[in-house]
Amino acid sequence: MSCVTNDEVPTQVATDSAPRPRARRRGRPSVPLLSQKRITRAAVELIGARGYPALTMAALARELRVAPSALYNHVASKRDLLRWLQDHVNRGIDASAFDTEPWDVALERWARSYRDAYVRHAPLVPVIAVTPIAGSPHTVAMYEGVVAGLCAGGWPEAEAVDVVVALESFVLGSAMDATAPADIFDVPDDAAAPALARAGLLRAGRDNADAAFEAGLAALVTGFRARHPGGAGG
């Protein structure tokens, strides 16, 4: 009550009824307002709330209550921001089965977890495909776990990477496919595409993206099992 600390005029109090959205002195703040962690976190929240089209540098800066140009003291470009996001998303992928399960079981679990993560982040997929992993610690850790697990399961190192890249291509393609509208294969006139039209009727109401992913995943693992050096396959 009678204390003399500086809480009688907190920054939220307006001097009168006029709205004063923010006030900060012009120069460098004594403690930095931004960091990679804070920027990434705000970007994830923004995407979660309003989707990828809403992720603009201006909107992100607004979320962080900062001028847009302030972001460029921490990240070189929007492209680099997307790389941070990629690493954040990869952190959520579960590759732990490679520690406990046979390589083929682990591969299936990893693929499902990987696809699940990117179905919600499909706009990152084109970024992933072209981005060297070196600067992304969680991404490196994930691949190391997967490749080490495959090698422990009997795969030669060079071939293990082929398996990983092939599976990743399928997973990322499937993640993009999962964002498609359900009626993507609908055809207007049945005469021009009778097989497609019949198939469309048979498939109506199914979750086609999931079914195709599971079919492809099973085929891929079956095929790799057949190729595995010490395997029971052909």
Partner DNA sequence: ACCTGAACACCGTTCAAGT
Contacts of DNA in 76-115 (CB under 7 A): 77-79
Binding partner of residue 72 among DNA, a copy of itself, none, CB under 5 to 8 Å per kind?
DNA
Contacts of a copy of itself in 177-206 (CB under 8 A): 177, 179-181, 183-188, 192-196, 198-199, 202-203, 206
Contacts of a copy of itself in 31-50 (CB under 8 A): none
Q: Where are the alpha helices (DSSP H) in the chain?
A: 36-50, 57-63, 78-91, 97-100, 103-119, 125-128, 137-152, 157-178, 194-203, 208-227
Contacts of a copy of itself in 121-150 (CB under 8 A): 122-123, 125-126, 129-134, 140-141, 143-144, 147-148
- Looking at 2, 5, 17, 69, which residue binds DNA (CB under 7 A)? 69
Smallest gap from Cβ 69 to DNA, in A, equals 3
Buried b (16+ CB within 10 A) or exposed e, 9-38: eeeeeeeeeeeeeeeeeeeeeeeeebeeee
Residue 66 near DNA by CB under 7 A: yes
Smallest gap from Cβ 64 to DNA, in A, equals 9
- Looking at 4, 16, 18, 28, which residue binds DNA (CB under 7 A)? 28
Sign of the C-alpha dihedral, residues 178, 181, 182, 186? negative
Smallest gap from Cβ 59 to DNA, in A, equals 6
- Asked if 44 and 85 count as a contact pair (C-beta separation under 8 A), the reply is yes
- Asked if 144 and 109 count as a contact pair (C-beta separation under 8 A), the reply is no
Q: Phi/psi zone of residue 22: left (φ > 0), alpha (ψ -120 to 50 degrees), beta?
A: beta
Residue 82 near a copy of itself by CB under 8 A: no
Binding partner of residue 98 among a copy of itself, DNA, none, CB under 5 to 8 Å per kind?
none
Q: Indicate the residue among 3 and 192 with the shorter CB distance to a copy of itself.
A: 192
Q: Indicate the residue among 57 and 141 with the shorter CB distance to a copy of itself.
A: 141
Amino acid at 32: P
- Asked if 86 and 131 count as a contact pair (C-beta separation under 8 A), the reply is yes
Residue 34 near DNA by CB under 7 A: yes
Contacts of 230 (CB under 8 A, 6+ apart): 154
Binding partner of residue 212 among a copy of itself, DNA, none, CB under 5 to 8 Å per kind?
a copy of itself
